[in-house]
Amino acid sequence: MKKRFLALALLAFTAFAARAETINIDNVELARLAASGVAVIDVRTAGEWKETGVIAGSRLITFYDEQGRSDPPQWLEKVKAVAKPGQPVILVCRSGKRSDAAAKFLSAQAAYPTVYNVAKGLNGWVGEGRTLVPASTALAVCAPGARC
């Protein structure tokens, strides 16, 4: 009886410890995490990247296209080229809504235990007077042959 109880307790603890997490962050935390090497992925569309620019060092991988469609398995393969499952990752969009949906997908379905969502998105970043770089700068850092 004790063995069964201990086995169930260990199983419950393991399941709880392995639980993935989506964490909303502000721009101060975004800057700190990015500086420490956590990958930043901008999930907006190419048109948005070109129109506004992007956060320096971010990788550009669209989650929803211009028609609001997404292909999570295909998107996940692109994300894996930037951050392997098990590594933390930061997602950002214009307002924090699309990146939140993508973050929930990564944490619930794709073995990413810690996914950070920039709660106010680029609107908040720009609103604080922080700088953006042209999207062409970010696209230039993608691996040859990769569609970032």
List the CATH number of the domain containing 80.
3.40.250.10
Burial (CB count within 10 angstroms: exposed 0-12, middle 13-18, buried 19+), residue 54:
buried
Question: pLDDT below 50 — which residues of the chain?
Answer: 1-18, 143-145, 147-148
Residue 133 lies in a domain: yes
Domain that holds residue 84: 19-140
At 111 the pLDDT is 87
Maximum C-alpha span of the chain: 65
At 142 the pLDDT is 53
Residue 4 lies in a domain: no
Domain count, the chain: 1
Q: CA dist 24 to 28, 54, 56, 104, 133, Å? A: 12, 19, 20, 11, 23
At 20 the pLDDT is 66
